[in-house]
Amino acid sequence: MTTVRFTHIGGPTVLIDVGGWRLLTDPTFDPPGRTYAFGWGTSSRKLTGPAVAPADLPPIDAILLTHVHHGDNLDDAGRALLPTAGVIVTTRSGAPAIPGAARGLRADETTRLEAPGRPAIDITATPCRHGPPLSRPIVGDVIGFALTWPGQAHGPLWITGDTVYTRAVQATATRLRPGTILLHLGGVGFPLTGPLRYTMTAEQAVRLCETITPHTVLPIHYEGWQHFRENREGVQRELATRPSVLRDTLTWLPIGDPLDITV
């Protein structure tokens, strides 16, 4: 049994303290107000800033970067933080764009974090599709991360990354049986693309979780940007209409304050 401390800094950015390791997901530390282009005529304005400033972070052992090419997952201040981290793990295609030696992974590939006096952590890339069918050439490569280490009580820690529900994502969840999920939600959409969604909605999350019964689901990346179509209130409304394992296991991380979870 392991206690993990999660600090949700905002958006997809979470500080994870486990076994002496300090891991940071998708670093985004720019102030609010700027509009970021995402390609093919789409854009979004950042509405809220980070709850923790980069100067207030502890030393970071590894950054888990789901993709390098969208400003809501890696912004200018987040990019400036990369050289200070011991290890950066990202997509195989994105690694060359990172200064220094980033570890690039494709889905199902694994790398390991090792250090004296700490448990080894295996990091396995998991598949993502950041949009509708056939959108990968437009939206680019994205991965999630499954983290395993000795003594986990409920199964791996899974960071889904920016993805919609797909058969590959469901098959990965079924194979992993994650105990704790950092679940990217928000149902991202743009006026230019109408009803198409580029990240998971609450309805899709219910489908994902109802067959794997995770112990704890921690929503992230559902707020703070103009392009989210389903915020916390929207997720709660959707879950109120149906009994589901997701409704029973979902925990909202406080923004900026650490929360300890048994993993």
261 within domain boundaries? no
Q: What is the pTM of this model?
A: 0.97
The end-to-end CA distance of the chain, in Å, is 7
129 within domain boundaries? yes
Give ∠ CA 139-140-146 in degrees, rounded to 5.
Answer: 110
d(CA 92, CA 143): 9
Number of residues in the chain: 263
E-strand stretches of the chain:
3-10, 13-18, 21-25, 35-39, 42-45, 62-64, 87-91, 103-105, 110-113, 121-127, 143-148, 157-159, 180-184, 216-220, 258-262
260 within domain boundaries? no
Res 200: pLDDT: 97
- Give the CATH number, domain containing residue 121: 3.60.15.10
263 within domain boundaries? no
Q: Domain total for the chain? A: 1
Residue by residue, pLDDT tens for the chain (263 residues) are: 789 999 999 999 999 999 999 999 999 999 999 999 998 889 999 999 999 999 999 999 999 999 999 999 999 999 999 999 999 999 999 999 998 889 999 999 999 999 999 999 999 999 999 999 989 988 999 999 999 999 999 999 999 999 999 999 999 999 999 999 999 999 999 999 999 999 999 999 999 998 899 999 999 999 999 999 999 999 999 888 877 888 889 999 999 999 999 99
Res 248: pLDDT: 85
Residue written as token pair 């499954």:
146
Res 153: pLDDT: 92
259 within domain boundaries? no
Residue 69, token pair as written in the block = 């090419």
Res 208: pLDDT: 95
What residues make up the domain containing 58? Answer: 3-253
Nearest of 198, 200, 213 to residue 250 by alpha carbon = 213
Alpha helices in the chain, H assignment, sequence order:
76-81, 136-139, 167-176, 202-209, 232-240, 245-249
Res 238: pLDDT: 87
d(CA 48, CA 176): 34
Residue type, 69: H
Res 62: pLDDT: 98
262 within domain boundaries? no
| Phi, psi dihedrals of residue 245, rounded to the nearest 5° | -65, -30
